[in-house]
Amino acid sequence: MDKAQSNNKATRSGGVSRESQLGNATIVSAEAKKYVDPSPHTQTNVEGLLFVWCASGGGKITTNGIEYIISRGNSLFVPWGHEITYQADELKPFYLKSIHIIPSHDPKDELIHGVGCKESPDLLNNPARKNVDHPMLRDVTFLEDIDDTNLAVLCNYALGVYDRETPPLPVGRQMARLFLYEFFSLKMTIPTEEESNVPRRLQYLIDYIKDKLAIDISLGDIADHSELSQATVNRLFREHLGTSTMNFIHQKKIERAKHLLLVTDLPVSDIGPHIGINDVYYFSRFFKKMTGYSPSEFRRL
């Protein structure tokens, strides 16, 4: 297979890049449970990445000291080493679907399914299982209304697989790759705290920019689209986001490039066109100027 064929295969495969730290990630548990008992249920020192999705009912989940009110369609991602307490609503207890992923499992060792935690210590400190310091997996993430997303589809698929049989390692690994891809994609859509509190006309400009990242958009294009002067557009960005319009555009382009580098198998030469830069050398220089890393270096972080 020549290089071009190899690149095409990588592009079609989707999921987390095999070159990244998460190339050996795998699902080790998928379960659905209705918490009929409203008393708190706690797990500590959980060695795994947890994704939990409320399919019905409601309740409260507390993790690492922070409380989240959970209802149908809400989901929570919790990083490695967490403590978590589930407390179902007394009248309408939640029905939760959960996925546990090991970020890095040594491919030379046999995969043992299940989750290690202080309350079930058999799998704690398993040398084949490791965490990774990945920028998208460091913090608790709350997502709303995921019922109609690809993430929900993959969660149900994984539950169906585990309901039938314990899947072989390649299946668990491929499901983890696709699952993390969809999770990262959704996480990238969450507006920053600053973006959530801007005036409506600035939010209109932000949405326009995010929709046009694949082209070489200019300040003049934004002003023409909004029927505002360039000075007014710049003033809105500086007053409410503390940056110029063009710097905001560059930041969003870099965020999309990072996302594609972290969660896809696209070769570096194919990333630039997704943010309006067709020249791979210019894209690499632009990326390094903005991040301090070359695209290939960032992918391996």
Residue 140 or 16, more confident: 140
Residue 292 has pLDDT above 80, yes or no: yes
- Give me 15's structure tokens: 């999921």
- Arithmetic mean of pLDDT, 231-236: 95
Q: Please report the pLDDT score of residue 191 as a whole number.
A: 77
In tens, the pLDDT along 276-288 reads: 999 999 999 999 9
Residue 167 has pLDDT above 80, yes or no: yes
Residue 14 or 73, more confident: 73
- Arithmetic mean of pLDDT, 5-25: 53
Q: Answer whether 38's CB lies under 8 Å from 88's CB.
A: yes
| Predicted confidence band of residue 190 (pLDDT cuts 50, 70, 90) | confident
Q: Which residues, 6 or more positions from 273, have their beta carbon under 8 angstroms from its beta carbon?
A: 214
Q: Answer whether 298's CB lies under 8 Å from 258's CB.
A: yes
Residue 194 or 243, more confident: 243
d(CA 219, CA 233): 8
How does 232-244 read in b/e, with b if 16+ C-beta sit within 10 Å?
A: ebbebbeebbeee
Every domain of the chain and the residues it spans:
13-188, 193-299
Residue type, 117: C
Q: How far is CA 286 from the centre of its chain?
A: 24
Strand 58-63 relative to strand 104-105, pairing:
unpaired
3-state SS assignment for residue 285: helix
Fold of the 193-299 domain: Arc Repressor Mutant, subunit A (1.10.10)
Written in H, E and C, the secondary structure of 133-145 is: CCCCCCCCEEECC
Q: How far is CA 118 from CA 61, 91, 92, 99, 123, in A?
A: 18, 30, 29, 18, 9
d(CA 241, CA 250): 14
Which is nearest to 265 in space by CA: 3, 7, 10, 1?
10
- Arithmetic mean of pLDDT, 1-22: 46
Q: How far is CA 33 from the centre of its chain?
A: 24
Residue 191 or 270, more confident: 270
| Predicted confidence band of residue 15 (pLDDT cuts 50, 70, 90) | low
Written in H, E and C, the secondary structure of 159-208 is: HHHHHHCCCCHHHHHHHHHHHHHHHHHHHHCCCCHHHHCCCHHHHHHHHH
- Arithmetic mean of pLDDT, 176-197: 85
Instruction: Give the architecture (CATH level 2) of 13-188.
Output: Sandwich (2.60)
- Arithmetic mean of pLDDT, 230-247: 95
| Predicted confidence band of residue 209 (pLDDT cuts 50, 70, 90) | very high
d(CA 180, CA 169): 16
- Arithmetic mean of pLDDT, 42-70: 95
Q: Where would I find the beta strands (DSSP E) of the chain?
A: 26-34, 41-46, 49-56, 58-63, 66-71, 75-78, 82-88, 95-102, 104-105, 129-130, 141-143
**Cβ atoms within 10 A of the Cβ of 19, count?**
15
**Cβ atoms within 10 A of the Cβ of 228, count?**
16
Its pTM stands at: 0.77
